[in-house]
Structure 1
Amino acid sequence: RTETDQTSATVTDLKYRINVNDFAHEAAKSLEMNEVGICNISTRTPIAFDPFAENRTTGAFILIDRISNATVGAGMILHSLRRAENIHWQSLDVGKRVRADMKNQRPAVFWFTGLSGSGKSTIANLFEKKLFATGRHTYILDGDNVRHGLNRDLGFTDADRVENIRRVAEVARLMADAGLIVIVSFISPFSAERRMARELMADGEFVEVFVDTPFEECARRDPKGLYARALNGEIKNFTGVDSPYEAPETPEIHLQTLGKSAEEIVDALEHWLNERDIA
């Protein structure tokens, strides 16, 4: 938030930390309470500002956590990144509608969210097989798989989780633009980030699917042995243990999994789709 405007923002690159005692530049991946650093910030929408050296009022900002609504940082704007002024949207002759018509389908992004062990990946995999069998053009973005490549540099802090979802949402948007039906299977624990992903898509294109499995059942299943390690303190920032999960309040599809097989759940999901003529 600045004196003139407010918008969603992401710290995209921490250049270095400044030692307040000798002003030395120190390598750092994060800043703790009362630490100072130089970083790049990407905003969702353009904002009007002056460099802090020219105007202290319009050149200052604060960062507000989207989850807690608490102020988590304050800063001075040195200059723009000098990138947006040099890039423009390129007009292309082949667009989303043409690509989708060629595939005889409507693009959609099915965003599966739920705790680790809830069954997201299993259900998403079976769901894609059903869609694929009917001739639909699909692709799955799975949380673990993406972390082997695109997001291999990210950890599991809250900040890294937010960046994890931001990148995947952008990839899903591009795939939808290619006319595909995209199935995203990510814990995606924060409602603000899921909302951000929704806002990137066209109206009606984003379908939030809440794979609702209680924590106790996920911990009992523990398919990767992660809950046992997290509960023993061996894994930090584990969703549901020492990092929060914000369940969707109004998902398009609410899948309650207890007492149901993955096949039964996918049948219900397919029935939901057929009723609404989506994808």
Structure 2
Amino acid sequence: MRTETDSVSATVTVLKHQLNVDSFVREPAKLLQMNEVGVCNIMTQRPIVFDAYKENRSTGNFIIVDRVSSATVGAGMIDFPLRRADNVHWQALDVDKAARSALKNQKPAVLWLTGLSGSGKSTIANALEALLHTCGKHTYLLDGDNVRHGLNRDLGFTAVDRVENIRRVAEVAKLMADAGLIVICSFISPFRDERRMARELMGEGEFIEIFVDTPLDECARRDPKGLYKKAFAGNIANFTGVSSPYEAPENPELHLKTMGQEPARLALQIEEFLRSRMEEK
């Protein structure tokens, strides 16, 4: 998000409604197409300086720029800050991340497994947590399907909902890392920008992106939940790899090619990578 005075990473968290430019009637909407206008909430990674557009057009306007292509994808006017920006303050805590980590005798980390549905992420993540547990490590596994039964049960699978799904999970992972845990996240997380957002939330060196690389044909052959069969038949909309894109990591910390590899061996490879990384610091 770029304004007259700032440039900051930002996420559109809620699209409240679309505005019909002919009648000015408010209409429900999940997304905005080219040249459409809507009212939304935007969360910035840090506070910015601005005025309401009605008071100052120069400091009250903004544009949204794609971080990968640098293309301008939207423009808008700032109406008002959310009330919580003024009423919520950071509470100082006596016990910090370093103290919690020292008590557990480990360094916190967020191991983020990304890949297509059926690539083996959950199986590898489960084997990895079992392995770390036997090594005496304090862990927690956040699985894509499991969080949709609770925390994210209100979200669907549109591009907007997928972004919000990852935003929430990243915030939870950040809290768990702050507790000194090794957090294993197993999510398709198809968009590079959202994985980048998750990385930026974490401390220096804490985020470890792991690309579970399985060809689409193999994922479809496995089809453990019968989802690809439904997607190819047109019965599931916005299915990653079929009717919705998957943006593969460009520079992951660890690239796992699963063909011909056992999940337990791949989990051991992650554990060895994590151990060597922790020993370096």
One-letter identity of the residue aligned with 1:46: P
Distance 1:273 1:78 in 2: 46
Q: Residues 53 and 247 of structure 1: is their aligned pair in 2 closer, same or farther, counting only changes over 3 Å?
A: same
Match of 1:110 in 2: 111
**Is 1:75 aligned to 2:76, yes or no?**
yes
Q: Residues 55 and 131 of structure 1: is their aligned pair in 2 closer, same or farther, counting only changes over 3 Å?
A: same
Distance 1:22 1:45 in 2: 36
One-letter identity of the residue aligned with 1:76: M
One-letter identity of the residue aligned with 1:241: V
One-letter identity of the residue aligned with 2:17: Y
**Is 1:171 aligned to 2:139, yes or no?**
no
Question: 5 Å matches for 1:242-257?
Answer: 242-257=243-258
How many pairs does the alignment contain?
A: 279
Task: Find runs of 4+ consecutive structure 1 residues off by over 6 angstroms.
Answer: none
Distance 1:190 1:35 in 2: 23
Question: 5 Å matches for 1:102-181?
Answer: 102-181=103-182
Question: 5 Å matches for 1:212-231?
Answer: 212-231=213-232
Match of 2:277 in 1: 276
SS of the residue corresponding to residue 130 of structure 1 reads helix
What is the TM-score when the length of structure 2 is the normalising length?
0.92
What is the deviation of 1:69?
4.1
Of 21-30 and 151-160, the range deviating more from structure 2: 21-30
Distance 1:234 1:37 in 2: 30
What is the deviation of 1:104?
1.4
**Which blocks of at least 5 consecutive residues in structure 1 are unaligned?**
none
Distance 2:76 2:274 in 1: 47
Asked if 1 retains the 8 angstrom alpha-carbon contact of 2:107 and 2:278, the reply is no
One-letter identity of the residue aligned with 1:59: G
What is the deviation of 1:127?
0.5
Q: Residues 117 and 102 of structure 1: is their aligned pair in 2 closer, same or farther, counting only changes over 3 Å?
A: same
Distance 2:274 2:45 in 1: 32
Q: Residues 52 and 250 of structure 1: is their aligned pair in 2 closer, same or farther, counting only changes over 3 Å?
A: same
**Which blocks of at least 5 consecutive residues in structure 2 are unaligned?**
none
What is the TM-score when the length of structure 1 is the normalising length?
0.93
Q: Residues 35 and 273 of structure 1: is their aligned pair in 2 closer, same or farther, counting only changes over 3 Å?
A: closer
